[in-house]
Structure 1
Amino acid sequence: MLRELHPQYHVKGPKRFAESIKFIRDKLGITPFTPGELMSISHRYQQDLINGISKGADSSLAMYDTRLPSVDREKLPVGKKVLVIEIGGTNIRAASVINSEQGLEIEKKEGEELFIKKGLKRKVYSDADDFLNEVFNFLDPVISKVHPDTLSVIWSFPGEPQISEDGISVDIKSTEELTKGFVIPGISMIPIGKKILGLLNNRYQLKENIPLAVMNDTRAAEGGIIGSGFNLAFGKYNSESGGFDKISDFIPYAYRQVDEMSANPGKQLAEKHISGDYLGLLLKVVASELEKSGLLTQKIMHDKSEFFSRLLKVALDKNIAYEYLNPYMVATLMYLARQAIVRSAQLAGTMIGTGIATFKNDYFPNWNENRKRDYKMDYILEGSIVEKVPGYLSLVNQYANEVSEQWRIKINVRSVENAGIFGAAAAALDIYRRNTDLTGMI
C-alpha cells in the first residue's frame, strides 16, 4: 500500500520501518492491553465506582450525584427557549434551543442557526472574570441574539452539584483544582452558575430570576465524553472517570513520559491514556524518543490528536499526502496511531461496560440474573475522538460488550450530534416546568 501511496519509497524504508516498530512496541511499550490487564482494570474500576458513592472509602473517582432528575421530554413546555452555554475546556459552544411542536431544535434567525463553536487560545487566566469574559467574547455572536426563558450551563470541570435556595435551580460548586491543564484562580469562590448568570446579566440583561441548570458534559449528553478530555456518566452519577488512577501497574514507558510532561503528574491517569489532548502529547513523546534513537531524521511538525485521525485515514484516502515526511515515517506514525487508538478504545470500552454492569439495577430496575433474553440499552458518546477517528466507536463497542455480556447486557455505544446541547436544554426546561408548577407563573 505504501508503495502505491509513495512511488519514491526506497530500499532502506522497510528495514528502518521494522526497527521503528520494534522500538515503539518494545522500548516505548505502546501495545494493546492484554485480556488479563483489562480484566484487572475492570475489577479495580468497579471497586472505585462503589467506593466513590460511599464517599468514606478510598476511591480515585469523585462520583457526584448530578441532582438532576430524569426528564420526560413529552412534558416539556412548548415554545420556550433555552440559552445553552458549554464550557468544555478549550472547546466552547453556545446555542439557543427552542422546544417546538416537533421537539427540541436549534433556533433559527434570518435562516441561520443560533449556534456557535469556538476554541479558547489559552489555559491560564488571572481570575474567574478574566476567563468567563473571554468565553463570552467568543460566544457573543449567539448570546447577544438570544432572549431565553431559562439558562443551561455545561461545565466540563470537576464540581459538586448543589440545589439552590429556592429548591428549583441546580448549580455546581467548582473546585480550584481544574482538569485539562487550566489554571483559573478564584473559580471556586461562588457556584459557577451564579457567577455566569451575574456576568451575563451585566452584559445582556437577561430576565430576572431566570431558572438555571448547571451540569457536567456527561450528564448533558446522558453518556460519556471522549474529546480533549474524558469522562463518563452512569445514570444520575457523574463519575469524573478521567481521574481513575488504578491503572498505574499497566502504564508503559511512553505514557509515563506523557504523565511527567503534563501539568498534573500522577493525576488523571485514565484521561492521559484516552483523551485527545494527551494523544497529541504522546505523539510528541514518541517523536522525541525516535529522534534520540537515530530512527527519526525529520522533525514532526504536528503535536495534536487531529494528526492521529489524519494518519488513520491514509489507508482510506490515497490522496492524503505528507509533503515533508518520507514514506517509512508515514508508515511508522500510522502504526503508532493505530496502537494508541486501540489502547484508548480498549480502556474506554472496558470502563463503560464495567460502569453499566455496576449500575445495572438503575438501568434495569427489574433486572433478573435468570432472565434468558439479553437486556439492551444505548450509551451515548460525544467528542472529537469519537467523531473524527475512523473505527473508534466500533472498538469501544466491542470492549464494552466484552465486559457487559457477563450480565447478559447488550450495549449499543453510539454517537448523537449535539446530544449534550439538547440534553442540557431538556434539563433546563424541566426545571422551568417545575418552577411554573410551584409558583403558578407562565
Structure 2
Amino acid sequence: MVTNSKVQAITAPLCLSDEQLRKCMTLFLAEMKKGLGKETNAAADVKMLPTYVRAIPSGQEEGKFLALDLGGTNFRVLLIDLKGRSVKMSSKIFNVPQEIMVGTGAALFDHIAECMYRFMYAEGILDQVLPLGFTFSFPCRQLGLASAKLIRWTKGFSASNVEGEDVAKLLKEAVKRRGDFDVDIVAVVNDTTGTLMSCGHSTPTAFIGLILGTGCNACYMERIENVELWDGDTNEPKEVIINMECGAFGDNGVLDFIRTEFDQHIDNESINKGNQKYEKMTSGMYLGELVRLVLLKLTEAGLLFGGKLPAVLKKKDVFYTKYLSEIEADADETVTRSHKILRDELGISYATKEDAELVRYVCSLVSSRAAILAAIAMVTIMNHMKRPMTTVGIDGSVYKYHPKVHTIMTETINRFIDPNLKFKLMLSEDGSGKGAALIAAVAAYQKAGKPALSDAKPAATAPTKK
C-alpha cells in the first residue's frame, strides 16, 4: 500500500466512495428509464435498443450455422454444428487493418466478404447457403431481427458511408459483388446479446450479458410492458433483450462528478470526443492509456523515476492494457513482474523496485475503478429486474484475463444488491460468436414454424428458481 501523501493526492480522484457509487446507480437507472421511454428516447444517451431477440435455443435445433463477429481489430468467422445441446464449433480470426477501419464502408464489407470466402473454402462449404448470424458490436437501431442500422462507429472505426445504413444490406451487397458464394442472413445482433444467448444455452437464469473488453456494453431481458418503443407483437414471451449501449452513459455530463483530468485527456485525444465516456473509464481500449497518463503526472511531480521522464512514456498508447493484468497477477511483494515490464518491455533501465511498486499501485487503482463501475451497472440492472436469481454472462479480455476483476465485481455487487436477490458472474467462452449462431438457429427454426422458446427459461413474469 502506497502511503505517500503526495501520491495519494494525485491518485485520490480514481478512488470512488460508496456515496459516489450510489449516486452513479441512481443516475444509471434514470438513464435506463430515459432510454426506454417513448418521449425521452430521442434525447437519451443510453439508447436501450430492443433487439427483437425473445427466445433462446429450445435444445431441439440441429444443423450447421455460420456466424460473423466484428467488434474490434479482429474479425471472426465461425461454423457451428448444432445437435440439440451439443455444439461443435470451428472458427478463424482475421485481422482488420487500420486502413480498412478508417477507409470506405465498401472496402470494409468487401474485406469481410473476402474473409468469409477464405473460411468457407477451407471448411468445404462454399456450395452451401447456411443461415448466418452477424454479431456487429457497434451501436445499431434494430429494424427487425435481420436488419440493423448503424447509429455511430466506436472502438476506433470510422469507415465512411456506413452510419445510418443497414449493415445486413451492406454485407449482402459485398457478397453479391463477389458472386462466388451466398449466405442467408437471419440475424444481426450485438456482442452482448450473443454473450447472453450463449450462456442461456446452458443456464436458464442468464438474464444479463456484459462485454468488458476492448469496449464495454451490456444487455438484459426486459419486460415488454416497460419498453415503450416496442413495435413488435405482445404475445408470449412478454420479454425482449435490450441492447443498452451503456458505453455512452455520462455523455450528457452526469458522470462529470467522478471523471478525472486523466479521463478528460483520454476523451480530448480520442476520435469520438464527447462520446462513450463510461466506456472510456471501463474498457480495455483505454485502461493502459489511463495508467500512462497517471504515471506522467507522478513523474512530473518528482514522485516516480526520480522525476526523470522516460521518453517512451511520452508516446500515446505505449502502456498496453495487458500490462495491467500481468502486473496485478504478480503476488510477489517485490513486484518483480512490474519491474520486468518497466525495464524489459518499456526499456526504462533506471526503474527501481520502488518505481515498480508505485506503477503496480496505479494499475490497481485504474483496473479496480473499471471493475467497480462495471459492477455498479450490473447491480442497478439486477435491482431493477427484481429476479430472485440472475446469471450475468460476461465476455471480453478485461474480465477474462485480469486476475482481480471478477472478485472486485462480485464484492461490489454484494455491497449494493437487494438482499433478497442472488446472482452469479459467468465467463461466456466464445459468447459473441457462438451466441450469434444460436440466434441464427432460433431464427431459422422460427421461420420454419418450429418451436424455439426453451422450456427451461421462464417468462419474465414467471417465478424463477433459486
TM over 0.5: yes
Q: CA deviation at 1:314?
A: 2.4
Q: Which amino acid aligns with 1:394?
A: T
Query: Where does 1:23-34 land on structure 2 (aligned, <5 Å)?
Result: 23-34=6-17
Question: What residue is the counterpart of 2:158 in the other structure?
Answer: 183
Q: Helix, strand or coil: the match of 2:418?
A: helix
Task: Name the residue aligned to 1:308.
Answer: 324
Question: Corresponding residue for 1:426?
Answer: 438
1:311–1:115 CA distance, 2 compared to 1 (3 A): same
1:25/1:256 CA distance change after superposition, 3 Å: farther
- 2:191–2:431 CA contact under 8 A, matched in 1: no
Which residue number corresponds to residue 368 of structure 1? none
Partner of residue 272, structure 1:
280
Q: Distance in 2 between matches of 1:390 and 1:142?
A: 34
1:136–1:250: structure 2 CA closer, same or farther, 3 Å change rule? same
How far is 1:319 from its partner?
6.9
Q: Are the aligned partners of 1:381 and 1:414 in contact in 2 as well (CA < 8 Å)?
A: yes
Quote how far apart the aligned CAs of 1:431 are: 1.1
What pairs up with 1:5-44 in 2 under 5 angstroms? Answer: 22-44=5-27
- The one-letter amino acid paired with 2:380 is T
Number of aligned pairs?
391
Mapped contact 2:65–2:437 kept (Cα < 8 A)? yes
Q: Would the aligned equivalents of 2:77 and 2:115 in 1 still touch at CA under 8 Å?
A: no
Contact 1:94/1:117 (<8 A) preserved:
yes
Matched, 1:417 2:429: yes
Mean alpha-carbon deviation: is it higher for 134-143 or for 60-69? 134-143
Q: Is the 8 A contact 1:234 1:356 kept in 2?
A: no
Is 1:212 equivalent to 2:186 in the alignment? yes
1:47 maps to which residue? 30
Counterparts of 1:45-84 in structure 2, within 5 Å, are: 45-57=28-40, 58-76=43-61, 78=62, 80-84=63-67
Query: Is contact 2:191-2:433 (8 Å) kept?
Result: no
Q: Name the CA distance, whole Å, in 2 between partners of 1:389 and 1:300.
A: 24
- Cα distance change of structure 1 residues 405 and 299 upon mapping to structure 2, 3 Å threshold: farther
Distance change (3 Å), C-alpha of 1:289 and 1:152: same
**1:418 alignment partner AA:** D
Q: CA RMSD in A?
A: 2.5
Segment of structure 1 superposing worse, 123-132 or 83-92: 123-132
1:329 aligns with 2:345: no
Alignment match, 1:227: 213
> Structure 2 counterpart of 1:415, which letter?
L
- Rounded to whole Å, the distance in 2 between the matches of 1:399 and 1:212 is 39
* Aligned position for 1:393: 406
Deviation sequence 1:200-245 (CA, Å, 0-9, x none): 344364446x242101111111101010100010111000010000
Deviation, 1:133, is 2.8
Which residue does the alignment assign to 1:85? 68
Q: Which amino acid aligns with 1:190?
A: E
Cα drift, residue 24 of structure 1 = 4.7
Shift of 1:156: 0.6
Q: Distance in 2 between matches of 1:435 and 1:271?
A: 36
Return the alpha-carbon distance in structure 1 between the equivalents of residues 115 and 9 of structure 2: 45
1: distance between equivalents of 2:8 and 2:219?
33
Q: Deviations over 1:10-32 (max 9, x none)?
A: xxxx9xx765xx45531254532
TM-score, normalised by the number of residues in structure 1? 0.82
* Cα distance in structure 1, aligned partners of 2:214 and 2:319: 13
Task: Flag the 1:68–1:314 CA change in 2: closer, same or farther, 3 A.
Answer: same
8 Å CA contact 2:382, 2:390 repeated in 1: no
Answer yes or no: is the 8 Å Cα contact 2:328–2:360 preserved in 1: yes
Give the corresponding residue for 2:107: 130
Listed one character per residue, the Cα deviations across residues 285-322 of structure 1 (whole Å, up to 9, x for unaligned) are 12332343343333456322111111112226987433
Percent identity, aligned pairs only, is: 19
